[in-house]
Amino acid sequence: DVKVTQSSRYLVKRTGEKVFLECVQDMDHENMFWYRQDPGLGLRLIYFSYDVKMKEKGDIPEGYSVSREKKERFSLILESASTNQTSMYLCASSFSRQGDEKLFFGSGTQLSVL
């Protein structure tokens, strides 16, 4: 089975801190994604990557950056955390770029910014 592992289940940070959310997948998938999930808003795409050292902005990239130095690892970075970034963050991966592949999700990181 594909496994997508997010390093933390819960995080509490202070406003202005730099925050790293880590995600690792074990199935050699090409594509990796970061979403945030807020009640009633569904999942919104922050950033995604089709290859190592490659990144693309999603629908809500402001306030975030990403890093993909290795194929299996995709990191989401909050340069200066703010309270409106309190949310559930979900990492996902998929195999191909053909647009016909389902996503495999991690269990999520609930981030609280105080």
Query: Interface residues with other proteins (CB under 8 A)?
Result: 4, 31, 33, 35, 39-45, 48, 50, 56, 58-59, 90, 92, 97-100, 102-108
Minimum Å distance from CB 14 to other proteins?
25
Considering the complex, state which of residue 18 and residue 54 has its C-beta at the smaller distance from other proteins: 54
For residue 87, how many other CB atoms are within 10 A of its CB? 20
φ, ψ of residue 65 in degrees (nearest 5): -140, 170
Of 15 and 107, which CB lies nearer to other proteins in the complex structure? 107
Strand positions, DSSP E, the chain: 4-6, 10-13, 19-21, 23-25, 31-38, 42-49, 56-57, 64-70, 73-78, 87-94, 104-105, 109-113
Q: Regarding beta strands 10-13 and 109-113, do their DSSP bridges make them parallel or antiparallel, or are they unpaired? A: parallel
CB of 99 to other proteins, least distance (A): 4
77 vs 88 by CB, closer to other proteins: 88
Closer residue to other proteins (CB): 39 or 62: 39
